[in-house]
Amino acid sequence: MHRILYSSSASPGVDRDELEEILLVSRRNNAAAGLTGMLLHHPATALYPATFLQVLEGERGVLEAAYEKIALDPRHSDVKLLSSQPAEDRQFENWSMGLEYVTDEDLRRVLPGFSLDDPDAVRIQDLTGNAAVAEMLLHLYVS
């Protein structure tokens, strides 16, 4: 068992309808490949693009092939692998692919004092670029 975690910036125009389509296709493909995971989406702000954060679990070779395909997907850019490591068990075993929409309040729960309005505050990209913080955010949604 292996787990990867990555973040990326959503391309302009990726809306909820497209995210729901991504979810349907991902659930089908992941179930067939034996992958589980969660996709988080934080909407764009006046200053920053929408952000994706995803964790995937499964056999290492299958994960690596899936990640290579994901990295080429034009619906996002700035794909950054935050973590790739062996895992003893699945943390998202009930999700062939979950999708959650991250709110500013969710971000404040992970990082008290977080503010999108303060130019000196930590940015969403800083949060999702840090594997430990990204994992805390993902675990807000584990059922």
pTM: 0.83
pLDDT for the residue numbered 16: 87
pLDDT tens digit string along 71-94? 999 999 999 999 999 999 998 888
Is 104 part of a structural domain of the chain?
A: yes
CA angle, 23 then 8 then 92, to 5°:
45
Phi then psi for 142, rounded to 5 degrees?
Answer: -70, 130
Q: Are 71 and 79 in contact (CB under 8 A)?
A: yes
Is 62 part of a structural domain of the chain?
A: yes
Tell the residue number behind the tokens 């994706």, with chain if given: 52
Residue 117 has pLDDT above 80, yes or no: no
Task: DSSP letter for 14, please.
Answer: -
Is 143 part of a structural domain of the chain?
A: no
**CA nearest neighbour of 8 among 81, 115, 62, 111:** 81
Is 34 part of a structural domain of the chain?
A: yes
Is 80 part of a structural domain of the chain?
A: yes
Say which CATH number the domain at 41 has: 3.30.70.100
pLDDT tens digit string along 39-64? 988 888 777 788 898 999 999 999 99
Is 81 part of a structural domain of the chain?
A: yes
Residue 66 has pLDDT above 90, yes or no: yes
Q: Are 57 and 37 in contact (CB under 8 A)?
A: yes
Give dist(CA 50, CA 12) in Å, integer.
8
Our count of domains for the chain comes to 1
Contacts of 143 (CB under 8 A, 6+ apart): 94
Give dist(CA 132, CA 129) in Å, integer.
9
Crossing angle of the two packed helices 60-71 and 16-33, in degrees rounded to 10: 150
Owning domain of residue 98: 2-138
Structure token digits, residue 88: 């003893």
